[in-house]
């Protein structure tokens, strides 16, 4: 328990006991201050585009094979940010702020070197269980990623096992019509809990299916293919054309990887700097509204960042009470919170078709349909 401040050791132990006994959703457990992150889960979808030029490159590929490779390259290059960046910026994995229902996050990555502007829109579409829906669009390149994610957690052998629920669909608008890729998400193991320095390892597999290829990405930690943490092996199998060859890539997703077959030499390398999203106010004035994550959590965040945990916990309680009251009023009035950008749907035909093709389980999943109502401020931006 070296990383746990002495004064928080007993509360860390009780927290670990609570984790071990609560299964399903850990988001509402109260954790000791040292492990709190000042960032809400609604900001996490930005990890999908911290290398906007790799996203844009998908549209510039000229063959299906090149496009499948570009999609894989972009996907692999997001993993470092998604799963190791809190360790880099805050010393360990931390407990993110648990988003309120209807919490929003808007942002963009500016146009640069002809890659086009990329917009980000996020909405918390469920509070319990937490479900986050998002859209990332590069309109000038005809690229759009729409997805949602939730987690189911369990405790095993001292680690938290996180099963990710949800998927994303990437649409590439080609002159011949839209090409769609289904992306599923890996399983996570959160290790290092006992010592108070949690970190993520990925396990099992995730898929990228579409554009004539079925892609499987297998994840392994220490002691497998290379004996190193954060190892992966990706295999893209052509669906129709028997002349096309399988593409296999192997390496470390937080560093670099290389072609094993279907190509030569280096595949990806994430040592180049990433570009954080520029947060944008979604109101017509360009200001942030009360449900926009950085406004909603402003004082909680400041408290956590500046070590003023009294401020953080007071403000956190205030927000949670406000939300509880909102839910009570809705129940009393027979209304429900209107989502701003998404409509829930109990099934997703594209998911079902591609999951069947690639033998992905579960065979069906809910989805959230994006309403195409971008805030004007985002569309007008640079």
Site for ligand 0T9 contains 145 (CB under 6 A): no
HSE of 332 in the Cβ direction (CA atoms, 13 Å)? 6
The answer to whether 196 and 2 have CB atoms below 8 angstroms apart is: yes
Q: Does 44 bind ligand 0T9 (CB under 6 A)?
A: yes
Q: How far is the C-alpha of 73 from the C-alpha of 51, rounded, in Å?
A: 11
Is position 126 an interface residue for ligand 0T9 (rule: CB under 6 A)?
no
The rounded distance, in Å, linking the Cα atoms of 89 and 225 is 28
Binding residues for ligand 0T9, how many (CB under 6 A)? 20
47 lies in the site for ligand 0T9, by CB under 6 A: yes
Q: How far is the CB of 64 from ligand 0T9 (least distance, A)?
A: 27
71 by Cβ neighbours in 10 Å (0-12 / 13-18 / 19+) ranks as: buried
Say if CB 183 and CB 169 are below 8 A apart.
yes
CA distance 305 to 36: 9
Name the burial class of residue 243, with classes exposed (0-12), middle (13-18) and buried (19+) by CB atoms within 10 angstroms of its CB: exposed
Nearer to ligand 0T9, 145 or 279 (CB): 145
> Is residue 100 close enough to count as binding ligand 0T9 by CB under 6 A?
no
Beta-bridge partner residues of 155: 160
Nearest distance from C-beta of residue 121 to ligand 0T9, angstroms: 15
Q: How far is CA 366 from the centre of its chain?
A: 17
Q: Which of residues 319-348 bind ligand 0T9 (CB under 6 A)?
A: none
Hey, how many other C-beta atoms are within 10 angstroms of the C-beta on 327?
15
Dihedral, 105, 111, 114, 118 alpha carbons, nearest 10: 10
Instruction: Using CB under 6 A, pick the residue from 40, 77, 151, 237 that binds ligand 0T9.
Output: 151
CB of 268 to ligand 0T9, least distance (A): 18
Exposure of 350 by Cβ count < 10 A (0-12 exposed, 13-18 middle, 19+ buried)? Answer: middle
Q: What is the DSSP string of 140-187?
A: GGTEEEEEEEEEEEEEETTEEEEEEEEEEEEEEEETTEEEEEEE---E
Q: Which stretch binds ligand 0T9 (CB under 6 A): 160-168, 204-212, 246-254, 335-343?
A: 160-168
Q: Does 94 bind ligand 0T9 (CB under 6 A)?
A: yes
Measured from the CB atom, is 153 or 173 closer to ligand 0T9?
153
Q: Which is nearer to ligand 0T9, 186 or 262 (CB)?
A: 186
Given the complex with ligand 0T9, which of 149 and 229 has the nearer CB atom?
149
Residue 344 CB, shortest distance to ligand 0T9, in Å, is 19
Kindly state whether residue 351 participates in binding ligand 0T9, applying the rule CB under 6 A: no
Q: Which of residues 186-225 bind ligand 0T9 (CB under 6 A)?
A: 190, 198
Residue with token string 């007071």: 314
Q: Under the criterion CB under 6 A, does residue 230 sit at the interface with ligand 0T9?
A: no
Of positions 40, 42, 77, 82, contacts ligand 0T9 by CB under 6 A:
82
CA distance 219 to 248: 14
Q: Which of 13, 27, 197, 278: binder of ligand 0T9 (CB under 6 A)? A: 27
Report, in Å, the least distance between residue 127 CB and ligand 0T9.
14
Residue 97 touches ligand 0T9, criterion: CB under 6 A: no
Residue closer to ligand 0T9 by CB (options 131, 247) is 131
Name the residue among 108, 213, 202 with its Cα closest to residue 170.
213
Applying CB under 6 A, among 58, 133, 162, 236 the residue interacting with ligand 0T9 is 162
Alpha carbon 84 to chain centroid, angstroms: 12
User: Binding to ligand 0T9 by residue 120, rule CB under 6 A?
Assistant: no
Q: Which stretch binds ligand 0T9 (CB under 6 A): 40-48, 106-114, 251-259, 369-377?
A: 40-48
Stretch of 26-34, 267-275, 300-308, 315-323 lying at the interface with ligand 0T9 (CB under 6 A): 26-34
Q: Which residues bind ligand 0T9 (CB under 6 A)?
A: 26-27, 31, 35, 41, 44, 47, 82-83, 93-96, 149, 151, 160, 162, 164, 190, 198
């Amino acid at each position: 328990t070296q990383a746990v401040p002495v004064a928080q050791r007993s509360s860390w132990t009780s927290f670990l006991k609570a984790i071990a006994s609560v299964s399903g959703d850990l988001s509402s457990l109260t954790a000791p201050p040292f492990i709190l992150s000042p960032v809400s889960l609604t900001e996490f979808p930005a990890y999908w585009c911290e290398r906007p030029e790799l996203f844009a490159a998908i549209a510039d590929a000229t063959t299906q094979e090149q496009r499948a490779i570009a999609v894989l390259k972009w996907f692999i290059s997001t993993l470092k940010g998604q799963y190791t960046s809190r360790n880099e910026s805050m010393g360990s994995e931390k407990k993110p702020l648990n988003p309120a229902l209807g919490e929003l996050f808007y942002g963009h990555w500016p146009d640069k070197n002809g890659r086009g502007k990329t917009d980000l829109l996020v909405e918390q579409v469920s509070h319990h269980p937490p479900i986050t829906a998002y859209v990332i669009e590069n309109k000038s390149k005809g690229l759009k990623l729409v997805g949602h994610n939730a987690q189911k957690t369990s405790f095993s052998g001292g680690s938290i096992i996180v099963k990710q629920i949800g998927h994303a669909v990437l649409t590439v608008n080609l002159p011949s019509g839209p090409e769609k890729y289904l992306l599923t998400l890996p399983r996570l193991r959160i290790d290092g809990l006992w010592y108070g320095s949690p970190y993520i390892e990925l396990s099992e597999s995730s898929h990228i299916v579409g554009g004539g290829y079925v892609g499987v990405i297998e994840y392994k930690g220490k002691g497998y293919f290379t004996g190193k943490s954060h190892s992966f092996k990706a295999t893209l199998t052509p669906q129709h054309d028997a002349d096309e060859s399988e593409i296999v890539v192997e390496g470390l997703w937080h560093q670099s990887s290389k072609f094993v077959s279907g190509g030569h030499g280096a595949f990806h390398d994430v040592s180049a700097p990433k570009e954080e999203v520029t947060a944008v106010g979604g109101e017509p004035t360009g200001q942030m509204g009360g449900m926009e994550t950085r406004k909603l959590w402003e004082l909680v965040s400041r408290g956590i960042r500046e070590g003023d945990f009294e401020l953080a916990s007071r403000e956190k309680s205030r927000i949670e009470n406000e939300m509880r009251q909102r839910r009570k009023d809705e129940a009393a009035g027979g209304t429900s919170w209107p989502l701003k950008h998404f409509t829930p749907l109990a099934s997703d035909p594209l998911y079902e078709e591609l999951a069947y093709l690639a033998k992905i389980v579960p065979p069906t999943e809910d989805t959230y349909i994006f309403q195409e109502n971008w805030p004007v401020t985002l569309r007008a931006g640079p």
